[in-house]
């Protein structure tokens, strides 16, 4: 077999594999959206769930999902940013730094159910936070921190050393170079990584079953005092998220219209994750043009 024939066969195999993966993904998305989108309505998106009667919605679960996502990102982003800056800009080329990077990579592949059980034993039982938004947010931080740190470190590593040398030539300290030169240049990639990790956190369920709980008590949306347990902003109340709600209603089977609610909730989950992914690409490209003038 000559080289041209081998090249054509290899190219055809790659195309077939790529097309197969694409068809499977598109089919899954189409199946979820076709089944779920017809059931979406303002009432479904804003009304509370009902356990033993039909016609319930996902309003509280949807709010809990976004609230937990915001809290988790507020905790994890500063830690991940500081760790990434240190590892990329300050850490020496030593064996213990390689050990830290290896540990981060291992933690990023940790099953979420293990993170959930760890969060249950530490935050729910030992620290007595109970099944609460706070326990869930910290567990999500542990789940998200390794991947977010690697993402930000990779963004910083993509900045050419020439820019660091230019900062030093202007008399800037290393910290001033990082703040005024490196970080602005890496912002598009960092924002893309943050949005993509937000989509991953938004769809997480296993880590929250053991930490944030599986109940969604009635909320008083006229009370925004975070110290009141009925307030939507209270960090000490249990909070069933959208992904946990889908798992719960299908496992319990006590909801008469469980198929419709599950299909609609799954469609909302997929749509939000798609919005996160599309936004990451568009916002990253927009920031890159604005900050690099290219």
Q: On the CB side of 155, how many CA atoms lie within 13 Å of its CA?
A: 27
pTM summary value: 0.85
Decide: 210 and 185 in contact? Cβ < 8 Å. Answer: no
pLDDT for 1 equals: 72
pLDDT for 267 equals: 93
Q: How far apart are the first and last CA of the chain?
A: 46
From the CB of residue 43, how many other CB atoms can be counted at a distance below 10 Å?
11
Tokens of residue 269, six digits:
């989950």
Q: How far apart are CA 106 and CA 99, in angstroms?
A: 10
pLDDT for 4 equals: 84
CA geometry: angle 287, 293, 294, nearest 5 deg: 90
Tens-of-pLDDT digits for all 294 residues of the chain?
A: 778 888 889 999 999 999 999 999 999 999 999 999 998 999 999 888 887 888 888 989 999 999 999 999 999 999 999 999 999 999 988 888 899 989 988 888 888 899 999 999 999 999 999 899 999 999 999 999 999 999 999 999 999 999 889 888 888 888 999 988 898 888 888 888 888 888 888 888 888 999 998 887 778 888 888 888 888 888 888 888 999 999 988 888 888 888 889 999 999 999 998 888 888 778 877 777 776 665
Structure-token match 């055809």, residue found: 12
Tell me how far the alpha carbon of residue 24 is from its chain's centroid: 23
pLDDT for 37 equals: 92
Tokens of residue 108, six digits:
């990023």
- Signed CA dihedral, 144, 280, 79, 215: sign only: negative
What would the pLDDT profile of 255-269 be if each residue is shown by its tens digit? 888 888 999 999 999
Tokens of residue 31, six digits:
């199946």
Q: How far apart are CA 204 and CA 113, in angstroms?
A: 10
pLDDT for 283 equals: 82
Q: What b-and-e string marks burial along 54-63, b requiring 16 or more CB atoms within 10 Å of the CB?
A: eebbbbbbbb
Q: Helices (DSSP H) in 120-209: which residue ranges?
A: 133-157, 161-169, 174-177, 183-202, 206-209
């Amino acid at each position: 077999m000559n080289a041209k024939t081998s090249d054509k066969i290899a190219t055809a195999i790659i195309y077939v594999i790529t097309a197969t993966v694409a068809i499977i993904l598109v089919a899954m998305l189409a199946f979820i959206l076709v089944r779920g989108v017809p059931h979406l309505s303002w009432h479904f998106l804003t009304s509370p769930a009902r356990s033993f009667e039909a016609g319930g919605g996902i309003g509280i679960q949807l709010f809990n999902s976004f609230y937990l996502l915001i809290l988790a990102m507020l905790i994890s982003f500063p830690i991940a940013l500081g760790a990434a800056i240190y590892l990329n800009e300050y850490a020496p080329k030593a064996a213990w730094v390689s050990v830290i990077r290896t540990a981060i990579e291992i933690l990023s592949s940790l099953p979420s159910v293990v993170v959930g059980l760890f969060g249950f034993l530490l935050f729910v039982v030992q620290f007595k936070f109970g099944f609460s938004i706070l326990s869930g947010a910290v567990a999500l931080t542990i789940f998200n921190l390794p991947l977010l740190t690697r993402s930000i470190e990779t963004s910083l590593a993509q900045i050419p050393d020439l820019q660091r040398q230019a900062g030093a030539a202007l008399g800037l300290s290393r910290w001033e170079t990082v703040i005024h030169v490196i970080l602005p240049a890496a912002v598009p990639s960092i924002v893309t990584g943050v949005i993509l990790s937000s989509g991953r956190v938004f769809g997480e369920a296993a880590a929250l079953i053991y930490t944030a709980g599986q109940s969604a008590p009635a909320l008083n949306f006229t009370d925004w005092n975070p110290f009141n347990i009925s307030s939507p902003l209270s960090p000490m109340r249990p909070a069933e998220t959208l992904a946990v709600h889908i798992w719960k209603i299908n496992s319990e089977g006590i909801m008469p219209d469980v198929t419709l609610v599950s299909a609609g909730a799954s469609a909302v989950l997929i749509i939000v994750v798609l919005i996160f992914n599309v936004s990451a690409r568009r916002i990253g490209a927009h920031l890159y043009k604005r900050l690099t003038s290219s």
